[in-house]
Amino acid sequence: MRMPSGSSVRIQALTRPGWQPSEEISEKRILLYLENKHMLHIVEHPLIEHKLTLIRRKDTGTKDFRENLNEIAGLMAYEITRDVPVREVQTETPMEQCSTYELSRSIVLIPILRAGLGMVDGISSLIPTVKVGHVGMYRNHRTLEPENYYAKFPKNIKDAVVLVLDPMLATGGSASSAIETLKKEEALIIKLVCIVGAPEGVKRIEKDHPDVDIYLASLDRGLNEKGYIVPGLGDAGDRIFGTK
Ligand code: PRP
Ligand code: URA
């Protein structure tokens, strides 16, 4: 499920209406970024698998579900941020001056309400400087189409690494619509971070947004007749917030 060739992705990004590379993000950096990425990443780690088992269990309660979901998101953050741009800085240690690196892009989390909120603490405990925007969206249970009800973003998301958070990638409609909203705000570097995904959702994002990397802890078998992921973990929002 690799993404299409770098050049089509690059052209798409560079021809997005009104987009200009800022002084800080050199065009070369953007081109390198765009040419090398865009794929499905399954973040595999024994700790993630163990915690995933806990949240899949139907008798896991709200407290343990919420804690383990956040911890999985935190563990995934290491892999998700592996390629975020850094800049060289001169640093004075107690011994001498040396060249070191610091993050050169701000990192913005965009949880898709409500369930995406269940991943914010886990990632922000590792990256305390993150800014957080919100996209409000729910799936119409009859049509399975997303209904947008809220959007609020930090300034300058066009220069940031934007992580869209939602535990569930089912049909992909919600995530695709959230990404579309972010692109209208000129966000350029967008990564979609979900815990459990269905192949249907992955295909939808690959088709609608071939310039977006997808990170999952598990790619599950598929969707049932009600659009729920199987084996999945049920309704993530209800399990996080105890609403059922
Ligand atoms: C769930 C989930 C995703 C969406 C996934 O949210 O958190 O946002 O469904 O389905 P899709 O890929 O088919 O669009 P839901 O609509 O249940 O809202 P909630 O988070 O408020 O519970
Ligand atoms: N939303 C959920 O919360 N769970 C699913 O399996 C699919 C969509």
Q: How many angstroms separate the alpha carbon of residue 162 from the centre of ligand 2?
A: 23
Return the ligand 2 atom nearest residue 229 CA.
6
State the pLDDT confidence band at 17, using cuts at 50, 70 and 90. very low
pLDDT score recorded for residue 34: 56
Average pLDDT, the chain: 87
Q: Best mutation site among 168, 202, 224, 230 for ligand 2, i.e. most ligand atoms within 8 A of its Cβ?
A: 168
**Whether the predicted pLDDT of 198 surpasses 60:** yes
State the pLDDT confidence band at 30, using cuts at 50, 70 and 90. low
pLDDT score recorded for residue 22: 45
Q: Best mutation site among 138, 228, 243 for ligand 1, i.e. most ligand atoms within 8 A of its Cβ?
A: 138
Task: Tell me: cis bond preceding 111? Omega within 30 of 0 counts.
Answer: no
pLDDT score recorded for residue 234: 98
Domains of the chain with bracketed CATH: 38-241 (3.40.50.2020)
What burial letters (b/e) apply to 159-190, b meaning 16+ CB within 10 Å? bbbbbbbbbbbbbbbbbbbbbebbbeeebbbb
Q: Which ligand is nearest to the CA of 233?
A: 2
State the pLDDT confidence band at 37, using cuts at 50, 70 and 90. low
Give the global pTM.
0.86
The residue-averaged pLDDT of 164-170 equals 98
The residue-averaged pLDDT of 74-81 equals 95
Q: What is the pLDDT of residues 121-160, one digit of tens each?
A: 999 999 999 999 999 988 888 888 888 999 999 998 999 9
Token output for 207? 């088709």
